[in-house]
Structure 1
Amino acid sequence: MAYPVHRPRRLRRNPVLRDMVRETRLQPGDFIYPLFVVEGRDVRRPIASMPGVFNLSLEHAVAEAKQAKALGVPSVLLFGIPNHKDACGTQAYAKDGIVQRAIHEIKAADPDIQVIADVCLCEYTDHGHCGILEEGHVVNDATLPLLAQMAVTCAQAGADIIAPSDMMDGRVTAIRRALDEVRLTEVPILSYAAKYASGYYGPFREAAQSAPKSGDRRGYQMDPGNVREALKEVALDVEEGADMIMVKPALAYLDIIRAVRERFELPVVSYNVSGEYSMLKAAAQLGWIDYERVMMETLTSIKRAGSDLIITYHALEAAKLL
């Protein structure tokens, strides 16, 4: 009863048939679009290692968020780059900080745009690490109140979702308690639950001006060789009250996305990170790949692995094709 009775090619004969039986589908609503917001006016500064991505002043960030929504991309993820940095990252949790103002401006322009606030200190500290440093080491528990304070000021500015990316132990509990204490009980937490210490973050650090001045982040981000640890991290964040969970990076960690999808019922978000984006752009500039085809194939692979939502710098380009 095998060949010639079974001929899978029958369902591949033409584009209509292929579309009818396609198992994994992308739509613009699957995407979250990251934005890098800076101080100043009329700033639209290209990021050399990320063609097509810019540092944006507030008015340009608002315009970019509105363009994303017009293309069917409902949500933006905000990273703020302040003019002033210090050891404690005070601009991260200032009520008039750059990211808080960006949240307010975008929500004022269109309340229906879903704004996600990345909560971490790395863009705001003068040493570039994600928490308080003592004798060259990031101190976990002393960092938690600052992350909680940043989450509160971002939520008060209008953020729809809080996304802690710092990888401190216990941060979801600290943030949930802080939000609840000021009656922001309905603001969900999207936890960067399985965030690996990856070489794919290089272009992002140029964009966010957040490279560590000494050492690296392997003491708090996950080892790329570990799977069971990722499931433990996700389980802990779920127990602490996370409403959604994230795997980062995406493309080199499709097995982690699949493992998390099979184990947990919460929405799974994956971050198609800067290095993954820049590799495609660089190869396309050299004429080595069909950029649009490979971009869509990459995003489909992330969705196929089990991701419900994809944070990606490709969001607008992909949405236009869809």
Structure 2
Amino acid sequence: MPNVPTHRPRRNRKSQVIRDMVQETRLTTHDFIYPVFLIEGQSKALEIHSMPGIYRFTADRLIDEIGRCVELGIKSFAPFPAINDSLKDRLAQESKNPEGLYLRTVADIKRQFPDIAIMTDVAMDPYSSDGHDGIVDVDSGEILNDASLEVLGQMALAQARAGADIIGPSDMMDGRVAWIRDVLDSNGFSHVSIMSYTAKYASAFYGPFRDALDSAPKRGDKKTYQMNYANRLEALRELALDEAEGADMVMIKPALSYLDIIREVKNATNLPVTAYNISGEYAMVKAAAQNGWIDGEKAMMEVLTSIKRAGADAILTYFAPDAAEVLRRG
């Protein structure tokens, strides 16, 4: 008689009840931060061609969308503004305007939904006539790191005044976490958190997001401040700096091609780790599902579970409402 195995892992897979009992990673709606897009106007929801099912909302319709998502159990949101070109300049001055689209809407959301968490974005590119995350030197085209910190600090302060719970510096300027922390603390906003984009890679998967905001660089690229996707240890160096500068949470962006980085960072810090399941990752699943090549719902849940399994405590994802519907069905 041939030798038979003594250890049989399949015993823990033999029924759905047992598989559920021993499941190691579980998604809930508490894991999700939903990025949403904001435009000027009234009563509009314009679908983004490269992101099926995702819309740019006017403020009134965004309030409706947030209300719908709250009913699904989603309690955290990250709004991003599409600013009219006429309001853009090289110093991103519109980012500090309390009556402007973004800050006005953040304040309104917080008034109507005081119990949700709003994470705001700190970077110059939505407001910059150059389309970069920092100030561009007019002669050399260099992104001026230290000069940009003043703009970013004032942007963060304006967002805190509008009601932001979490400030998300996505710009990747050196030293910006310490700078923003000092600005917030010295102006009475020590209670406002910073979720640093700790490892933000120069990725080809950002394209649909830039379509949504019309925020692509007018010249050059972002590789002098976003990270080389071939690098792993660099993420740990950025992590050490962000921890020392006062970050409350750290983020990896993108998520799906960087699961190893999420795990490396999770193993190296006691801070909460978040990951951004970005627009291109979302679009690939949606496009393949629309073509009948994959089961989109199953692929969505597999992707999100893999990001959490890798070590993410929270996930920024455009799938949030769809995934919440699946979780509600059980």
Q: Fold-level match, TM-score > 0.5?
A: yes
Q: Can you list the C-alpha shifts for 1:148-206, whole angstroms capped at 9, x where unaligned?
A: 11111111010111000000001001111110111101101000010000001010000
> Counterpart of 2:179?
174
**Cα offset, 1:15, TM superposition:** 1.1
Instruction: Spell out the pairing of 1:1-322 with structure 2 (5 A cutoff).
Output: 3-83=4-84, 84-134=87-137, 135-322=140-327
**Which moves more between the two structures, 167-176 or 35-44?**
35-44
Inter-partner Cα distance in structure 2 for 1:237 and 1:270:
16
**Which moves more between the two structures, 265-274 or 56-65?**
56-65
Inter-partner Cα distance in structure 2 for 1:288 and 1:314:
18
Counterpart secondary structure, 2:6: coil
Q: TM-score, normalised by structure 1?
A: 0.98
Inter-partner Cα distance in structure 2 for 1:113 and 1:103:
12
Opposite residue 252 of structure 1, the aligned amino acid is S
**Cα offset, 1:5, TM superposition:** 2.3
Counterpart secondary structure, 2:155: helix
Opposite residue 73 of structure 1, the aligned amino acid is I
Instruction: Answer whether contact 1:82 1:97 (CA < 8 A) is retained.
Output: no
Opposite residue 19 of structure 1, the aligned amino acid is D
**Cα offset, 1:4, TM superposition:** 2.9
**Post-superposition, which runs of at least 4 consecutive aligned residues in structure 1 deviate over 3 A?**
none
Opposite residue 15 of structure 2, the aligned amino acid is N
Inter-partner Cα distance in structure 2 for 1:259 and 1:139:
30
Opposite residue 31 of structure 1, the aligned amino acid is F
How big is the alpha-carbon RMSD for the aligned residues of Structure 1 and Structure 2?
1.0
Inter-partner Cα distance in structure 1 for 2:162 and 2:325:
30
Instruction: Answer whether contact 1:269 1:311 (CA < 8 A) is retained.
Output: yes
Q: TM-score, normalised by structure 2?
A: 0.96
Structure 1: gaps spanning 5 or more residues: none
**Which moves more between the two structures, 184-193 or 98-107?**
98-107
